[in-house]
Each structure stands twice: as structure tokens, then as C-alpha cells.
Chains A and B, each alone.
Chain A
């Protein structure tokens, strides 16, 4: 079966711009979570969506937002980009319970210059 698909794989943006990242979960998976990964900081939780509702939100500024569509696909948006937003953004999907294990996509590498 197809895995979690994230697009684009790489992105270069300028400070002040905004960016939208996309995540298509595994078919049948209704839960999608987003993480930011930077060297030395591990995976920091951004949001979790389940059936189009934001179920949890991490400790990130309001410039970071997301949504989930009826087909479970999810997008995250970062507005007014800062240099510190440069990171690997990972999306993970699961059927609905965390005990099942998350399946991660390969991520979007965002570079802000």
C-alpha cells in the first residue's frame, strides 16, 4: 500500500514569505500529526488532526497553522517565515490510536534564506 506522501520534498523560501506543505496519509488513516525536526531538538509536535478537527496543538506561534480535509489529506501553513523556521517538517498518520504506531512521510525540507 502507498505510504505517507509529503509534497514538496524541498523548498527554499525568503524571510517574510509564507509556505504551504501538504501531506497525504495512508488510505484509511484518519489521524494526521505534524512535527518539526531540527538538529539537536528532536521531533517537536506541531498539530494533530482527526476527522478534520484539530485534536491537539503544540507550543508554536500562531504563524503555524494547519487543516485537514474530508479525505484526510492535511496541509500546514507557515506565514511570515523566519530563518529559524528552517527545518524538516514531518507528517505522520495512524488509523486513530497512538498504540498502532505512526507512519511517517519522508518530510519536507524547508530552508528560509
Chain B
């Protein structure tokens, strides 16, 4: 079966940089995705990494190392509105998208 590990909570201040790590154990791995969910809201897609390396989308970047079964989401120039839960999710051949338990990011001023 699959398993994903990510920290349960991370705290940071406005303007800082924070990295949320995700390690996974799967077979037939396709790629790693990241989703953001604000309290009471729907999860929204942030990024997808199918190959090793860094993907950048504005203030957010995501990294994948397939050999290490490891990825991370990097959030720069943190803003209060970035306070949310962040989920990593793995895609496997022939199975559904499986999510980690999420990391709650709290940004303070």
C-alpha cells in the first residue's frame, strides 16, 4: 500500500520562507501533487511534479526526488493568506490519487 508522511504543523512569520516536506512509499509511482485547503474551503491544486527537479509557480515551488521518494513545497514571501493546510498526494499507475494527512501552516505578523 501507499504511505505519505508530512509534518502536521508548521509556523512562520510574514515575509519568511517555509518548506513543507513529504516522503512517500508507493509502487508504480507517477508523480507528486500539492494541494492547498483553507478552513472551510475546498482543496485547490497547486502543483504537480512528474520528473525530478523544481517546478516554480509564482511564490510557490515544488521539488521532487524520485530516487529519495521525497518532495517538498516551498513557499516564499509568506503572506497571512497563506495560512492553510497543505497536502501532498501521490499518483500511481492504476490507482487513485492518495493524499497525506496534511500540514497546517500558520503565518503570523
Contacts and interface: CB of A to CB of B under 8 A. Distances in A.
Chain B interface category by residue count:
20 to 34
Contact of B102 (A42, A45, A58): A42
Contacts, number: 54
B31 A99 contact: yes
B98 to A, nearest CB: 6
Interface string A83-113: 0000000101000001101111111000000
Indicate the member of B95, B96, B101 with the most A CB atoms within 10 Å: B96
A66 to B, nearest CB: 12
Contacts of B99: 35, 42-45
Majority SS at the chain A contact face: strand
A105 B35 CA distance: 13
A17 interface: no
Interface in A5-49: 33, 35, 40-45, 48
Nearest to B50: A99
B87 interface: yes
B97 A33 contact: yes
Interface stretch (B11-19, B41-49, B71-79): B41-49
Interface of B: 30-31, 33, 35, 41-45, 48, 50, 87, 91, 94-102
Interface of A: 4, 33, 35, 40-45, 48, 55-56, 58, 90, 92, 98-99, 101-107
The 8 closest A-B pairs by CB, nearest first: A101-B45, A42-B101, A104-B42, A43-B99, A98-B91, A56-B96, A48-B96, A104-B43
